[in-house]
Amino acid sequence: MNPPAPQLAPTPQIAPTPQLEANPQLAAHGHGAVAEWRRSPERGSQAMLRVMAWLSMRLGRRGGRLFLYLIGVYFFLFAPKARRTMRDYLRRALGREPDAADRFRNIMAFATTIHDRVYLLAERFELFDVSVQGGPLMRQLIDRGEGAILMGAHMGSFEMLRWIGEKHAGPGLVMTMYEDNAVKMNAVLAALAPRHPPEIIALGRIDAMLRIRARLEERAMVGMLADRSLADESVLPVSFLGATAYFPTGPMRAAAMLGRRVVFMLGLYRGGNRYHVVFEPLADFSTTPQGQRQAAIEAAITRYAALLEQYCRSDPYNWFNFFDFWRSPAAVEARAVPRPLRPTERPQPQPPRG
């Protein structure tokens, strides 16, 4: 089960610097490969998303949550691949073999954050009890009038940025999002008609990077996620939860080229209506010399992975990457390349997609 629009996409593609290309630590995906997380198309038409949003607003958060258990049971029973990858992750994060209750709890945390997204987008902030860690850091950035990048992950609720924007005066918050997800987000917004719709920059368009730069110069906070890569994006192997994972270099490379401070941000769900928002200093590229950019990018990615691991252990059921996160780029590419046909074989017709 994939959420209506659970992930913001990786940053727009930027040509790699010569230093990064020359570094043997960095691996690049083949252009013919397809990223693991993009193999399963998201479920839910735009019309269905509108209906779900409408029902959630009419039933209220408590009434709407009754449907979450039905969704959770369905996912638990009929998503075997997700269950396998969930078990692998939980084994690493918990330090023990997860049982069925652990896996179901992970599913319900996921379903809850997707449901709560409706109310956050509709500006129903009074429904939530939110604690903040690292508030002075954000206040400092806002008071200085510095545009910065808030870098999160597919963990907890990144829509908690909406709550932060409501509680802290500032020049604005911008969410970057893969274009397909932006279309689906707009379907939800059309049903909710919030007074102050979120500003979304759809990635994959030629002007995306220019728009991000312009908003940063206007002192806005720009949110992006940095834990998933596209197939043709370079990655850095980093130790994560006891094994090597491959984190995309694109988000940090973009932040370095823009010369901005980067803040690690998560909105962790902690049961009921409680969320805990975390801000941690991650990197400051505003004074990084050109010759030191490579080392700074790699150090920032390593710290990002370490912070992510820390919160995976403290709040393990908030992890929503339901695919093999530790699969190497070579394995993904090999899986994507079709076996050549033997002389006696004929191409098989493919079922229509959609």
Q: What is the CATH number of the domain that holds 78?
A: 3.40.1130
Q: What angle do CA 185, 186, 188 make, to 5 degrees?
A: 65
The answer to whether position 244 is within a domain reads yes
What contacts 42, CB < 8 A, 6 or more positions away?
A: 2, 3, 4, 5, 6, 180, 181, 184
pTM: 0.81
Strands 243-248 and 234-240: antiparallel
> Which of these ranges, 221-230, 239-248, 317-326, has the smallest mean pLDDT?
221-230
Q: Quote the number of domains for the chain.
A: 1
Q: What is the pLDDT of residue 290?
A: 87
Tell me what the mean pLDDT of segment 247-267 comes to: 94
Q: By percentage, how much of the chain surpasses pLDDT 70?
A: 71
Whether residue 178 is predicted with pLDDT greater than 90 in this model: the reply is no
Whether residue 40 is predicted with pLDDT greater than 70 in this model: the reply is no
Tell me what the mean pLDDT of segment 225-254 comes to: 90
The answer to whether position 281 is within a domain reads yes
Whether residue 204 is predicted with pLDDT greater than 60 in this model: the reply is yes
Q: What angle do CA 142, 143, 147 make, to 5 degrees?
A: 40
Whether residue 86 is predicted with pLDDT greater than 80 in this model: the reply is yes
Identify the residue with better confidence: 311 or 189: 311
Whether residue 30 is predicted with pLDDT greater than 50 in this model: the reply is no
Whether residue 211 is predicted with pLDDT greater than 90 in this model: the reply is yes
Residues spanned by the domain of 327? 18-333
Q: What is the pLDDT of residue 172?
A: 83
Whether residue 180 is predicted with pLDDT greater than 70 in this model: the reply is no
> Which of these ranges, 130-134, 157-161, 170-174, 300-304, has the smallest mean pLDDT?
170-174
User: Comparing C-alpha atoms, which of 118, 113, 170, 162 is closest to residue 144?
Assistant: 170
Q: What is the pLDDT of residue 303?
A: 98
Q: What is the pLDDT of residue 141?
A: 86
The answer to whether position 338 is within a domain reads no
The answer to whether position 197 is within a domain reads yes
Asked if 212 contacts 294 with a C-beta cutoff of 8 angstroms, the reply is no
Residue 108: band (very low, low, confident or very high) from pLDDT cuts 50, 70, 90: very high
Q: pLDDT for 146-162, tens place per residue?
A: 889 999 999 999 888 87
> Which of these ranges, 84-88, 156-160, 280-284, has the smallest mean pLDDT?
156-160
Whether residue 110 is predicted with pLDDT greater than 50 in this model: the reply is yes
The answer to whether position 11 is within a domain reads no
The answer to whether position 345 is within a domain reads no
Whether residue 208 is predicted with pLDDT greater than 80 in this model: the reply is yes
Tell me what the mean pLDDT of segment 62-84 comes to: 86
Average model confidence (pLDDT) for the chain? 79
The answer to whether position 57 is within a domain reads yes
Residue 69: band (very low, low, confident or very high) from pLDDT cuts 50, 70, 90: confident
| Interatomic CA distance for residues 196 and 194, integer angstroms | 5
> Which of these ranges, 64-68, 126-130, 206-210, 346-350, has the smallest mean pLDDT?
346-350
Backbone angles phi and psi of 304, in degrees to 5: -55, -45
